[in-house]
Structure formats: C-alpha cells, structure tokens
Amino acid sequence: MINDVSHVEFADELSSTEDLVLVDFWAPWCGPCKMLAPLFEELDRENDDVKFLKVNVDNNPQLASRYRVGSIPTLLAFRNGDLVDQMIGFRPKSDLEGFITRNR
C-alpha cells in the first residue's frame, strides 16, 4: 500500500526501513502525475522490498523545496534516509523498473 505522507511524517517514513524508498512528488492537477499513478501502484505490488510513498506538492511545498522538486512528477530514491537518485517526468514502466533495479 502506498502512503501519501506529509512533511510531518516524511522523516519517520524514511527512517523506518533500510529498504529502498521511492517517493513520488505529484499534484492532483498534473496530467503526467495521473498517468504515473497506476504504474506506481503496479510497481508497489510487484516489489515487496521497496517502500513506496507519495507527497502532494501542493500540500507540502516545504518538502518540494527541500529536495528541489521543480517539475512533477518527480521520483526520488532514498536509502537509509539519504537521497540516492531522482527521475523527473513521466516514464514508461520499463524505465521505472530500471530505476528501481539500479538503486536496490
């Protein structure tokens, strides 16, 4: 299950696991974000060893600013609480799978 987290919960969510954490920075008005959502959900079901989170940039501008999210959707990969990679824009599922594989 994908948690939609706020700036209050974000640090706790990152520190609660040693697994790879993928965070989708999105907004409800964003067309490419809507296209990414079902792929993100599929990947969540297919990757038990990866934690998937979503951050609504409209509700959490401080997180978007902190991680310099200037375009959405933006996926950030974290390991042990540290940012290790990012992917900007909508991509096909195969690109997302490659992103997960290289950051495991």
Indicate which residues carry an active-site annotation.
Answer: 30, 33
Measure the CA–CA gap between 35 and 43, rounded to whole angstroms.
14
* Ramachandran quadrant class, 77 (left: phi over 0; alpha: psi -120 to 50; beta: rest): beta
Residue owning tokens 């609480």: 81
Q: Which amino acid is at 72?
A: I
